[in-house]
């Protein structure tokens, strides 16, 4: 009888526990909060051409030595003085203020003191063109001189160009006659350096623009020039060759033509001082710069 009573009590206890369990509230399922919305990627500014240059500037290709194939590349020592003279002529015409006045005075003095080596450099250029182009040598010479003046007149480079021209013009009077040829070769390289730096910066800009447009821009990505530096090309998203670039032809002093006698008056040291002159007798004008625009 006692065993039955214990069994009953045990069964009653289990029944009570089951009843309590059935009355308990079910556990709530708590959902994880949604992830935060993605943060929009910050688009950096579109790369801009260096030195305020045009977005359509053409950059000359590079030679095997890595330098740009400009009109001043690999100029023969016998011709360097004439290329230097042309650069100082453009500087005398275009550089302003006290700097421009100093260049003009030094340039005009150089025309007188270096008449013979300048005439020899001019003659060397003409002799080479006669050998290379025959009866067309004069047109080839005219085109070469126009290209040379336009090269020096590239607008974005003018501040650096004028600074170099001023330094060269100041140093030239101290050079003795025997050292002028070597001086002209070195000075020509220095006068060309700001243009080479600009073209290198422009190549870097084109690579940066190609990478930017490939990531953020719409449409076909901008192409990367074949003559861009190898390190910059490797970092670009897109690498496609462009046709060979040609030197920029910008507005600059035009060549004036007068008589050969006028050219001989100052030993072939031609100077452009009339702005936009035209051919009148098939010869390069020869007169010093007396004023600048």
Within a domain: residue 256? yes
Give the CA dihedral 9, 15, 18, 22, nearest 10 degrees.
-140
- Summarize pLDDT for 146-155 with one digit per residue, the tens: 999 999 999 9
Tell whether 171 is covered by a domain: yes
Distance of alpha carbon 220 from alpha carbon 240, whole angstroms: 12
Structural domain including 112 reads 75-284
Q: Is residue 55 part of a domain?
A: no
Find residue 257's DSSP bridge partners: 284
Residues 118, 109: Cα–Cα separation, whole Å: 13
Q: What is the DSSP string of 146-209?
A: HHHHHHHT-GGGHHHHHHHHHHHHHHGGGS-GGGHHHHHHHHHHHHHHHHHHHHHHHHHHHHHH
How confident is the prediction for the chain on average, in pLDDT?
A: 77
| Residue 223 forms part of a structural domain | yes
* pLDDT for res 177: 96
Residue 82 lies in a domain: yes
Q: Does residue 42 sit within a domain?
A: no
Whether residue 119 lies inside any domain: the answer is yes
Tens-digit pLDDT profile for residues 15-39? 666 555 556 566 677 788 888 888 8
Q: Does residue 168 fall inside a structural domain?
A: yes
Q: In terms of Cα–Cα distance, which of 31, 129, 29 is closest to 79? A: 129
Distance, in Å, from the CA atom of 214 to the CA atom of 227, rounded to the nearest integer, reads 19
What is the number of structural domains in the chain? 1
197-232 residue pLDDT tens:
999 999 999 999 999 999 988 543 444 444 545 444
Selected residue with higher pLDDT from 88 and 242: 88
pTM of the entire predicted model: 0.66
């Amino acid at each position: 009888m006692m065993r039955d009573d214990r069994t009953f009590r045990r069964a009653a206890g289990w029944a009570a526990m089951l009843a309590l369990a059935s009355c308990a509230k079910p556990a709530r399922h708590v959902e994880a909060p949604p992830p935060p919305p993605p943060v929009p990627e910050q688009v950096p500014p579109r790369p801009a051409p260096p030195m305020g240059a045009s977005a359509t500037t053409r950059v000359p290709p590079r030679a095997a030595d890595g330098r740009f194939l400009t009109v001043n590349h690999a100029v023969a020592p016998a011709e360097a003085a004439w290329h230097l003279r042309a650069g100082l002529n453009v500087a005398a015409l275009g550089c302003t203020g006290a700097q421009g006045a100093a260049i003009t005075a030094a340039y005009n003095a150089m025309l007188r003191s270096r008449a013979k080596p300048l005439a020899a450099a001019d003659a060397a250029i003409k002799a080479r063109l006669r050998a290379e182009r025959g009866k067309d040598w004069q047109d080839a010479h005219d085109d070469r001189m126009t290209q040379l003046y336009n090269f020096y007149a590239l607008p974005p480079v003018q501040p650096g160009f004028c600074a170099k021209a001023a330094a060269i013009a100041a140093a030239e009077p101290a050079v003795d006659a025997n050292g002028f040829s070597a001086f002209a070769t070195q000075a020509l390289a220095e006068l060309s350096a700001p243009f080479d730096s600009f073209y290198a910066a422009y190549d870097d800009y084109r690579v940066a623009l190609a990478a930017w447009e490939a990531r953020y821009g719409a449409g076909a990505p901008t192409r990367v020039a074949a003559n861009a530096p190898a390190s910059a090309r490797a970092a670009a998203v897109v690498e496609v060759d462009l046709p060979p670039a040609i030197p920029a032809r910008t507005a600059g002093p035009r060549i004036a033509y007068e008589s050969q006698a006028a050219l001989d008056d100052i030993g072939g040291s031609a100077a452009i001082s009339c702005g936009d002159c035209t051919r009148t007798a098939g010869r390069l004008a020869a007169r010093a710069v007396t004023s600048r625009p």
